[in-house]
Amino acid sequence: MKTTERKSAAYISYFFILLFCYAAFSKCYDFEDFQVQIAQSPLLSAYAGFVSYAVIVAELLIVILLFVPRTRMAGLYASLAIMVAFTGYIYLILNYSDFIPCSCGGILEKMDWTEHLIFNIACVIIAGAGILLIGGAVSLRRRMMMILLSVIVSSGTVTLLFLRSEYIIKRQNNFTRRFLLHPVLEDQSVKLDNEQYYFAGSDHSHIYLGNKHYPQTLVTLGHNLAGIKKLKMAPSDFNHTFRNLQVQVKGPYYYLYDGTVPVIYRGKLGNAAPKTISYRDAYFTQLIVLDSIRFALRTQSKADKMFTIARLDLTRRPKVELYPGILEKQMDGVFDSDGKLTSSAHSDTLVYAYTYRNTFLIMNNQLELKRKLHTIDTTTVAKIQTGSQSNGTHKLIAPPLKVNQNISANRNLAFIQSDLMGKHESVNAWKKAKVIDIYRTDKQEYIGSFYIYNQGKNKLTDFIVTDHYLFAIVGDQLVRYTYRKPITKYFKPGEAENLSKE
């Protein structure tokens, strides 16, 4: 080999030695952050624990191979292979991912993804040139074949990792969250007069708030968080002993109710005097308005005291019909079946998310169970301990493991606030925010996750999703978030209808 070629090959080796040394030590220096970033990768999230170590080890081994003259050719082939893998990774991220994480180290974090792709392609060319320059006794044709084989094997491996990781994340999740790239952006907020508000409903132009401390108050404001109006609801027959008075809006009416009485009032929006439409028809713990005369309830069966889904129809006799087969008993049929019932806007779907297990149920307005879907955590059986009291009631005797904190649904997506931390997630981030996981309701599929950050010391207490915005109550702040991809496509009527038929 000529002296010039020998020097060029040496310079190429030194370049990769510096590159991989710098990259490996940068990752080691901030290993926790590197591992978290790997966990967010759509290609590698299912293998984050192994890959985070393997990449560093591989880079250091390549450095050793390149440093020793007798193994320099093997080091250049390894450099070529790993740079092809990195290049394929970025190509898939840019073209087949709705979100773009970062798993680089050091100076490469200063590059955008297009610049990073160009840099990697240049490194592939440099590694190939080094192999051709060193050559030795191996023929040029053989070296070209080896280069081609390295490219095929590396790119094929990355593609298989991508496909397999997609399958694990969406079908066989091992509880590795995938955080989407800015799926919602905070763009507006308004200060409320106290911290006790909750969402009572929404329509195409307004959102409605109830208040735990002032249950007869209904607040209306526009999607632009302007034009706040308060309505003091005053039913004529209001002489009951209320324990849990709540309000819910489904235009053009609002409904004031307490399942412990039990009573339901209905009033026209803007009218402060609702009328009693149901009294002592059914005791209930949760209510969802289906229409002006029909309601989905969560109640307790008289026969076995277990939580049961029921329907109240004011035009039928009997008015109440129980659906005991929907909620599944695991231990006591009460705490293990606890959860939140909600309706999906712009569809005839009802969703029930269990609090203490990784399951949510999809029903239609006729209360027919259509699907039993799962969240990404692995808590299939509620982890609770209950004890019997002398009066025959049960109570929790140890802190339970809470899985799902809250839920809101729109079209064919369910947004579930989770209480469980996944693998490789930042403890610091969990102290500053609450996490929302997004799922399809028309089939088993996890879309991704994002954070709703605290406002000072105040944390998320309630949220609601509409076609254009996510609204959140964080302490005494009402915050509006606008959607970005990959959420917006699910809320376009045409696309959402096509997706629901998949």
Which residues fall within 8 angstroms of residue 283, CB to CB, at 6 or more apart? Answer: 259, 260, 262, 299, 300
The DSSP bridge pattern shows strands 263-268 and 275-279 to be antiparallel
Query: Which helix (H) or strand (E) is 96 found in, with range?
Result: helix 72-96
pLDDT top residue among 393 and 380: 380
Q: Could you give the domains of the chain?
A: 3-170 (no CATH), 184-500 (2.120.10.30)
Nearest by Cα to 345 from 292, 294, 289, 416: 289
Residue 496's pLDDT band, with cuts at 50, 70 and 90, is very low
Is the torsion defined by CA of 69, 74, 80, 86 positive or negative? negative
pLDDT tens by residue, 298-352: 999 888 889 999 999 999 999 999 999 999 998 887 889 999 999 998 888 999 9
CA dihedral 380, 381, 384, 387 (to 10 degrees): 160
Q: What's the whole-number mean pLDDT along residues 232-257?
A: 95
Tens-digit pLDDT profile for residues 213-225: 999 999 999 999 9
> Model pTM?
0.73
Share of the chain above pLDDT 90, in %: 57
CB 415 within 8 Å of CB 435:
no
CA torsion sign, 305 to 307 to 309 to 313?
Answer: positive
- Tell me the pLDDT of the chain averaged across its residues: 87
What is the distance between the alpha carbons of residues 308 and 211, in angstroms, rounded to a whole number? 27
Determine the Cα–Cα distance for residues 237 and 314; give it in Å rounded to an integer. Answer: 19
Strand 413-418 versus strand 433-440 pairing type: antiparallel
Rounded to whole angstroms, the Cα distance separating 445 from 171 reads 7
Residue 455 CA to residue 474 CA, distance in Å, equals 6
